[in-house]
């Protein structure tokens, strides 16, 4: 590890990116337990200062994929499957991607979500914690997740359970108290072999690295969203910037909730939710409730689900997508689908 740490830790101006092969070797040293905790911490902090390169990301992703349990799905499903990839340190704001994914699954669009236990610096509510509260088992095998996607168009994967090497370095990640480039790597593992991805980012400064990484990793249809808390969820208090990534170019899309009657002023009191708050709101909205205190969150669900229908070709326009989502909510289609998904796990016990 010493030679790679020296190369990375020369300061932001003198540090050099690792080659793909060197990054692979560093991953081998880290995940096979050859690197000490101190060396791993130094490596991660040095990468954070230097900024990771697409080649370094690809090397770590490929190394970990080879040591993970991937989800066995046929090409006819993976060609349609969408990987929704958000922050692994959890959420304080409403995790819209969960109810939205349930609605998409109910309509026939296969989706895969994933996370692990919460991490610093945010220590928010992770998708794993949310699904546990929704009574969806999170310790599923890769085969069980595949069955879930085949039968209900939705699956959740606990990444550290499917990719054990990641669990071995959690204690160091928790102690350094900052995000590292492993946060990007775990989001791009694509253990479901999905050909489409919607990836959340915090800052535009990491856009180019993520664009190249997405291309290197073989996704055929991709959107990058500068969303709430670095997630793929677009807020309704401001315009959102979405980037469609193709092999040749990056198309910039600007969406304004005001254009669709879905804008709401930012309410800081509604931007810091507990895990129990998250689940209560999701259940109420999916059950078609329209109480005034739900408006801020219900509009987020409508806006984001409509956009995903539109982006992935399941609605001809945002307006058509909005109509579909409103119909689903009014008729409690999302709640019924969630109940069927829950029951499927109980019936297999």
Q: Is residue 320 a part of any domain in this protein?
A: yes
28 and 98 fall within a common domain: no
199 and 272 fall within a common domain: yes
245 and 181 fall within a common domain: yes
Tell which of 36, 51, 66 closes a domain: 51
CATH of the domain at 210: 3.40.1030.10
Q: Is residue 171 a part of any domain in this protein?
A: yes
What is the per-residue pLDDT across 224-248, written as a single tens digit (0 to 9) for each?
Answer: 999 999 999 999 999 999 999 999 9
pLDDT score at 13: 81
pLDDT score at 259: 98
Q: How far apart are CA 238 and CA 147, in angstroms?
A: 38
Backbone dihedral region of 125: left (phi > 0), alpha (psi from -120 to 50 degrees) or beta? beta
What is the per-residue pLDDT across 105-153, written as a single tens digit (0 to 9) for each?
Answer: 999 999 999 999 999 999 999 999 999 999 999 999 999 999 999 999 9
Q: Is residue 60 a part of any domain in this protein?
A: no
17 and 80 fall within a common domain: no
Residue 348: pLDDT above 90? no
pLDDT score at 262: 99
Average pLDDT, the chain: 97
Q: Is residue 9 a part of any domain in this protein?
A: yes
What is the per-residue pLDDT across 45-101, written as a single tens digit (0 to 9) for each?
Answer: 999 999 999 999 999 999 999 999 999 999 999 999 999 999 999 999 999 999 999
6 and 81 fall within a common domain: no
* Nearest CA among 26, 12, 31 for reference residue 56: 26
Q: Is residue 243 a part of any domain in this protein?
A: yes
238 and 134 fall within a common domain: yes
Look up the domain containing 191 and give its range.
75-344
22 and 112 fall within a common domain: no
**Count of domains observed in the chain:** 2
**Residues whose CB is less than 8 angstroms from the CB of residue 245 and which lie 6 or more positions away in sequence, other chains included:** 211, 214, 215, 219, 222, 223, 224
Q: Is residue 125 a part of any domain in this protein?
A: yes
pLDDT score at 312: 97
Q: Is residue 30 a part of any domain in this protein?
A: yes
141 and 25 fall within a common domain: no
46 and 80 fall within a common domain: no
14 and 112 fall within a common domain: no
Q: Both tokens of residue 60?
A: 């770590």
Residue 288: pLDDT above 60? yes
237 and 311 fall within a common domain: yes
pLDDT score at 191: 99
pLDDT score at 349: 55
40 and 126 fall within a common domain: no
Q: Is residue 319 a part of any domain in this protein?
A: yes
Q: For residue 28, give Cα distances in angstroms to 44, 51, 68, 249.
A: 15, 20, 14, 33
Q: How far apart are CA 229 and CA 202, in angstroms?
A: 6
pLDDT score at 144: 97
Q: What pTM did the predictor assign?
A: 0.97
Confidence grade of residue 12 (pLDDT, cut at 50, 70, 90)? confident
Q: In the chain, pLDDT over 70 holds for what percent of residues?
A: 99
**Residues whose CB is less than 8 angstroms from the CB of residue 97 and which lie 6 or more positions away in sequence, other chains included:** 84, 86, 113, 127, 231, 232, 233, 304
């Amino acid at each position: 590890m010493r030679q790679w740490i020296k190369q990375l830790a020369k300061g932001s101006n003198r540090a050099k990116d690792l080659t793909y092969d060197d990054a692979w070797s560093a991953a081998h040293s880290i995940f096979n337990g050859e690197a000490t905790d101190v060396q791993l911490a130094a490596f991660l902090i040095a990468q954070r200062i230097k900024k990771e390169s697409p080649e370094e990301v690809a090397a770590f992703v490929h190394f970990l994929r080879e040591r993970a349990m991937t989800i066995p799905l046929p090409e006819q499903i993976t060609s349609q499957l969408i990987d929704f990839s958000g922050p692994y340190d959890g959420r304080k704001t409403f995790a819209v991607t969960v109810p939205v994914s349930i609605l998409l699954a109910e309509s026939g669009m296969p989706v895969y979500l994933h996370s692990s236990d919460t991490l610093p610096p945010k220590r928010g509510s992770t998708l794993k914690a949310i699904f546990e509260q929704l009574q969806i088992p999170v310790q599923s095998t890769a085969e069980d997740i595949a069955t879930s996607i085949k039968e209900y168009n939705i699956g959740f994967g606990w990444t550290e359970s499917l990719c054990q090497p990641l669990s071995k370095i959690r204690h160091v990640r928790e102690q350094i108290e900052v995000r590292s480039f492993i946060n990007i790597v775990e989001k791009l593992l694509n253990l479901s072999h999905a050909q489409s991805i919607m990836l959340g980012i915090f800052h535009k400064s990491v856009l180019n690295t993520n664009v190249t990484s997405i291309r290197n990793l073989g996704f055929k249809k991709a959107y990058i969203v500068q969303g709430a808390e670095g997630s793929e969820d677009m807020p309704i208090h401001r315009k959102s910037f979405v980037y469609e990534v193709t092999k040749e170019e990056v198309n910039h899309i600007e969406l304004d909730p005001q254009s669709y009657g879905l804008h709401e002023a930012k309410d800081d009191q509604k931007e810091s939710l507990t895990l129990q708050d998250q689940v209560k709101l999701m259940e109420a909205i999916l059950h078609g409730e329209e109480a005034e205190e739900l408006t801020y969150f219900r509009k987020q669900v409508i806006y984001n689900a409509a956009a995903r229908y539109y982006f992935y070709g399941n609605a001809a326009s945002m307006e058509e997508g909005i109509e579909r989502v409103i119909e689903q909510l009014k008729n409690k289609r999302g709640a019924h689908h969630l109940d069927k998904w829950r029951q499927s796990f109980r019936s297999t016990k």
